[in-house]
Amino acid sequence: MISNEMLQLGTKRSVIREIFEYGKIRAGEIGAENVYDFSLGNPNVPAPECVKEALLELLNSNDSNVLHSYTSAQGDAGVRKTIADSINERFGTNVTANHIYMTVGAAASLCICAKALTMPGDEFITFAPFFPEYRVFVESVGAKLKVVPVNTDNFQIDFKSFKALLSPNTKAIIMNSPNNPSGVVYSEETVKELCSILEEKSKEYNHPIYLISDEPYREIVYDNIKVPYLMNYYKNTLVCYSYSKSLSLPGERIGYIAVSDQMEDGGNMYAAICGAGRALGYVCAPSLFQFVIQKCIGATSDINAYKENRDILYNGLTKFGYDCVRPDGAFYLFVKALEEDANAFCEKAKKYELLLVPGDDFGCPGYVRVSYCVKQSQIVNSLPAFEKLIQEYQA
């Protein structure tokens, strides 16, 4: 008599969580230092010092009613203005506070956008490999998720497959760059081609196709790689941002949706986002952390720590003979499994205490995700295990 769909969602633990739980048990058996757990995307780099400073300053100089009262549903106006100004400064846009809607993190941002957009029969399209919860969020509001198969040449977009999935029912595209799990940044060339197709098809279907840019990893990029800001390429863009990774605050659930200032009918889109937030029970984003974000605007955690991790891991694994795309951002390495079945490969890796996540749930069988947002010592110490694993296959 309860919703079977929700029961299934709540009962079927994600593969990532299963591996993480196994890792905790195994750590109890042989010591945490001997288990190489690469399963979770939980940042290990601390929040920047400004977060604690901002919290202390706010607590010591404001009444509790100022800090902890309801903000307006779309977020505190001053906080939204600070964020809008920062976006404009960095990307040359013209957004205002009234294009910014504060959310309870990236998952909330995506759910709210999906709810605001969806009408019966609507379809969303995303690109493999993709964050598995996209399917949950999209299906939860009654829409359908279609997945463009992976292009393993370079993990950019396979446009032929993409075009084949477009239809008059296509409501929006969800793009994630830097990408979880591949670590790839979609190039400007890719973005331009994507946007040109969307322009053309929007005209052909006589309705806009929206572009949802899910970018919690925007700040986590290496070697001065530029991540194109999609608003500058496509007017019907919604940016879903979260501070979970950039400020190492995943538990605080704070982020925003930015509506392009060029969007057709953008005022109504913003209103529908407000309506969707209300319908999903999001009264406002956590107030104290809204003010923290304002004070820490422009700050990030120590990205260099992730870059060092990437270099050690990528160089080590490719030297051993592993095949993987060099990640330009995020903190994941996406490695070709050494046999067709990535699940079987992950089981073999466990013998060497390596906990990896099969790519199947990311829409990319035959690959595994290695989360390197871990202590550097874990990466260094795990390399001999990775070497033994490949040697087993080469034997």
According to CB under 8 A, which residues from 207 to 236 bind a copy of itself? 207-208
CA 45/CA 171 separation, integer angstroms: 37
Which among 219, 217, 199 is positioned nearest to 209, based on CA atoms? 199
Which residues in 152-300 belong to E strands, given as ranges? 170-176, 210-214, 237-242, 255-259
Q: Which of 184, 194, 288, 313 binds a copy of itself (CB under 8 A)?
A: 288
Q: Which of 57, 133, 261, 387 binds a copy of itself (CB under 8 A)?
A: 133
Q: Which of 15, 26, 27, 42 binds a copy of itself (CB under 8 A)?
A: 42
Contact in structure between 179 and 154 (CB atoms under 8 Å): no
Q: Which of 79, 111, 184, 389 binds a copy of itself (CB under 8 A)?
A: 111
265's tokens: 């009918």
Q: Which of 126, 287, 300, 309 binds a copy of itself (CB under 8 A)?
A: 287
Phi, psi of 320 (to 5 degrees): -70, -20
Q: Which of 30, 77, 164, 279 binds a copy of itself (CB under 8 A)?
A: 279
Candidates 151-159, 180-188, 274-282, 337-345; binding stretch for a copy of itself (CB under 8 A): 274-282
Q: Could you give the 3-state DSSP secondary structure of residue 20?
A: helix
Q: Interaction with a copy of itself in 54-73: which residues (CB under 8 A)?
A: 55-56, 59, 63-65, 67-71
Cα 224 to chain centroid distance, Å, stands at 20
Quote the least distance from Cβ 75 to a copy of itself, whole Å: 10
R_g (Cα) of the chain, nearest Å: 21
Q: Could you give the 3-state DSSP secondary structure of residue 296?
A: coil
Applying CB under 8 A, does 252 fall inside the site for a copy of itself? yes
Applying CB under 8 A, does 27 fall inside the site for a copy of itself? no
Q: How far from 198 is each of 162, 203, 209, 237, CA to CA, in Å?
A: 11, 8, 6, 11
Applying CB under 8 A, does 248 fall inside the site for a copy of itself? yes
Applying CB under 8 A, does 266 fall inside the site for a copy of itself? no
Applying CB under 8 A, does 153 fall inside the site for a copy of itself? no
Applying CB under 8 A, does 77 fall inside the site for a copy of itself? no
Applying CB under 8 A, does 272 fall inside the site for a copy of itself? yes
Applying CB under 8 A, does 275 fall inside the site for a copy of itself? yes
Q: Which of 155, 222, 270, 372 binds a copy of itself (CB under 8 A)?
A: 270
Which among 103, 192, 189, 155 is positioned nearest to 329, based on CA atoms? 155
Quote the least distance from Cβ 93 to a copy of itself, whole Å: 21
Applying CB under 8 A, does 380 fall inside the site for a copy of itself? no
Q: Which is nearer to a copy of itself, 105 or 181 (CB)?
A: 105
Q: Which is nearer to a copy of itself, 44 or 187 (CB)?
A: 44
Applying CB under 8 A, does 39 fall inside the site for a copy of itself? no
The secondary structure of residue 334, as a DSSP letter, is: E
Applying CB under 8 A, does 344 fall inside the site for a copy of itself? no
Q: Could you give the 3-state DSSP secondary structure of residue 355?
A: strand
Instruction: Sort 39 into a burial class: Cβ within 10 Å, 0-12 / 13-18 / 19+.
Output: buried
Quote the least distance from Cβ 41 to a copy of itself, whole Å: 9
Q: Which of 23, 43, 329, 359 binds a copy of itself (CB under 8 A)?
A: 43
Applying CB under 8 A, does 198 fall inside the site for a copy of itself? no
Could you give the string, one character per residue 162-181, with x where binding to a copy of itself holds by CB under 8 A and - elsewhere? ---------x----------
Dump the DSSP string for 113-124.
HHHHH--TT-EE
Residues forming beta bridges with residue 257, ordered by sequence position: 101, 240
Instruction: Sort 167 into a burial class: Cβ within 10 Å, 0-12 / 13-18 / 19+.
Output: exposed
Q: Which is nearer to a copy of itself, 195 or 337 (CB)?
A: 195
CB atoms within 10 A of CB 218: 22
Q: Which is nearer to a copy of itself, 6 or 30 (CB)?
A: 6
Q: Interaction with a copy of itself in 289-308: which residues (CB under 8 A)?
A: 289
CB atoms within 10 A of CB 337: 23
Q: Which amino acid is at 112?
A: I
Applying CB under 8 A, does 282 fall inside the site for a copy of itself? yes
Applying CB under 8 A, does 388 fall inside the site for a copy of itself? no
Which among 279, 316, 282, 254 is positioned nearest to 106, based on CA atoms? 254
